[in-house]
Amino acid sequence: MKGKWMHSVHKRLATHLSCTSSPDVTKEVYRCRPWDLYHSTKRNKIPGMFPHFVLPSCLLPNGYISSQTYNGKPILLYRDSESGTVKAFLNKCRHRGAQLVGAHTTVKLKSRAIVCPYHAWTYDIRDGSLKRIPGEAEAFSCVKKEDHGLIPLSCKEVAGGIWVYGDAMKEVEDFSEHKQVHIEIEELLDLSAESFSMGRMVGTKEWEIDANWQISVETFLESYHVPSLHKNTLNIVTQANNKTVPMVTDHLDGCDIRMTVPLQNFDATLYEENAKSFVEQFLSSTTTTYFLFPNVSITLTKRFAFFMSIAPRHDDVSKSKISAWAITYNDHEEQMNLCQRDLEGVVNGVEEDWDCVEKIFKNLSKDQISIYGSYEGNNIKFLNDVKNIATHFVNT
Ligand code: FES
Ligand SMILES: [Fe+2]
């Protein structure tokens, strides 16, 4: 049954709201030296070993091309106008490396020919093959066109988005598997949406911040900080018990996590006699965030899906880049104002996080010891999962 997990999550949220303890989270206190974790060049390589969330699927309609970045490199995405499949290539000409399409451009192609702006070498975007070299007979007679197509990248569409990945991840996990987290997100998008593929963008934003990527990820793994740091933003729409905003957590696929918090209209007595109305009410009275290890979050809010990817910038342990997109569940225009109002609240909240983590990172000292308590079990899990991957898969 679709959304079966919601019933157990609802019960556990109701319990959290009525009592002071949180049975879901660890009871142990964990101490660590954050300097070592956040300045580790080994740990910094981990996001590059996993699939990179590049773009929500609905932002690349059939026959469109989009220039994005993957691991700091410019790439091209193209959705075939007939088959609807997506292909990814480096956005780089095989002649002398010119960028073929300008940064952050998404356009409908009039033809399948991509012409390099520098000397007009021409490629077929369907398979990246090199079709034409001006002056070929005189200047490049020894160059085999079939060996000089665009460099392809592996890509896949799951969980409402387009993901690009390199060879390094093959050692860590098999991305050909459809993971539990992907199935759940796709089911949720189906339940929330008449047609998520018709979703519209409410907004998109990028931040470049002066802090390690792990510390930024950690901000959305716990809700303990919501009543204090987000007092006037996210806390206004959530429901707290007498300690904090409760969050129900489940671990999926080993390192991935589902986290649900109750909104103000959460009804602990919601009766399950009608499965359809239960699901509708559950979705409109909670917010669920999926953490896709190591650095992507997908949050299903009442009115839109919020995709966020956090990556190290230029191999620098002290800088990260965050990309976010908010996408409606359908193409209805009339909800747009409410969506934009909600998104403003989310962005204000997220910027409170970035401001906080930049200051923490700036003031880190080598001998500092951080303590994680029972509301921060996901953070402990994340830091340990990063450690395990770094130990077993990252060569120095
Ligand atoms: S660099 Fe592209 S045609 Fe010369
Ligand atoms: Fe936060």
Calculate how far, in angstroms, residue 148's C-alpha sits from the geometric centre of ligand 1: 12
CB 101 within 8 A of CB 76: yes
The DSSP H or E segment spanning 218 is helix 213-218
Confidence at residue 18, expressed as pLDDT on a 0 to 100 scale: 79
The reply to whether ligand 1 has any atom less than 6 angstroms from the CB of 95 is yes
Confidence at residue 134, expressed as pLDDT on a 0 to 100 scale: 98
pLDDT at residue 149 is higher than 90: yes
Name the range with the highest mean pLDDT among 193-197, 319-323, 334-338: 319-323
Distance CA(39)–CA(316), nearest Å, equals 9
Confidence at residue 167, expressed as pLDDT on a 0 to 100 scale: 72
E-strand spans in the chain?
A: 30-32, 52-56, 64-70, 73-79, 86-90, 106-108, 113-115, 122-124, 129-132, 152-158, 161-165, 201-209, 248-252, 256-262, 286-292, 296-300, 304-313, 316-328, 370-372
Confidence at residue 39, expressed as pLDDT on a 0 to 100 scale: 96
Mean pLDDT of all residues in 287-313: 95
pLDDT at residue 369 is higher than 70: yes
316: alpha, beta or left, given left = phi > 0 and alpha = psi -120 to 50? beta
Which residue's alpha carbon is nearest to atom 1 within ligand 1? 96
Confidence at residue 131, expressed as pLDDT on a 0 to 100 scale: 98
User: In 222-255, which positions are buried (b, 16+ CB within 10 angstroms) versus exposed (e)?
Assistant: bbbbbeebbeebbbebbbbbeebbbbbbbebeeb
pLDDT at residue 197 is higher than 90: no
SS3 string, 251-263, reads: EECCCEEEEEEEE
pLDDT at residue 199 is higher than 90: no
Band (pLDDT 50/70/90 cuts) for residue 302 is: confident
pLDDT at residue 99 is higher than 80: yes
The structure tokens listed for 335 are 């909800």
pLDDT digits (tens, 9 = 90+) for 24-76: 555 668 999 999 999 999 999 999 999 999 999 999 999 999 999 998 899 99
pLDDT at residue 241 is higher than 80: no
The reply to whether ligand 1 has any atom less than 6 angstroms from the CB of 59 is no
In the chain, the domains with their CATH numbers are 5-50+179-393 (3.90.380.10), 53-157 (2.102.10.10)
The reply to whether ligand 1 has any atom less than 6 angstroms from the CB of 133 is no
pLDDT at residue 349 is higher than 70: yes
Confidence at residue 273, expressed as pLDDT on a 0 to 100 scale: 65
pLDDT at residue 138 is higher than 80: yes
The reply to whether ligand 1 has any atom less than 6 angstroms from the CB of 4 is no
pLDDT at residue 154 is higher than 60: yes
Distance CA(29)–CA(308), nearest Å, equals 29
| Burial degree of 396 (CB within 10 A; 0-12, 13-18, 19+) | exposed
SS3 string, 149-215, reads: CCCEEEEEEECCEEEEECHHHHHCCCCCCCCHHHHHHHHHHHHHCCCHHHCCEEEEEEEEECCCHHH
pLDDT at residue 271 is higher than 70: no
Rounded to a whole number of angstroms, the distance between the first and last alpha carbons of the chain is: 46
The reply to whether ligand 1 has any atom less than 6 angstroms from the CB of 306 is no
Mean pLDDT of all residues in 354-378: 96
Confidence at residue 347, expressed as pLDDT on a 0 to 100 scale: 97
- Unique residue bearing structure tokens 């395990």: 388
For a ligand 1 pocket test, name from 94, 115, 121 the mutation site with the most ligand atoms within 8 angstroms of its C-beta. 121
Question: Among the listed ranges 57-66, 191-200, 233-242, 294-303, which one has the minimum average pLDDT value?
Answer: 191-200
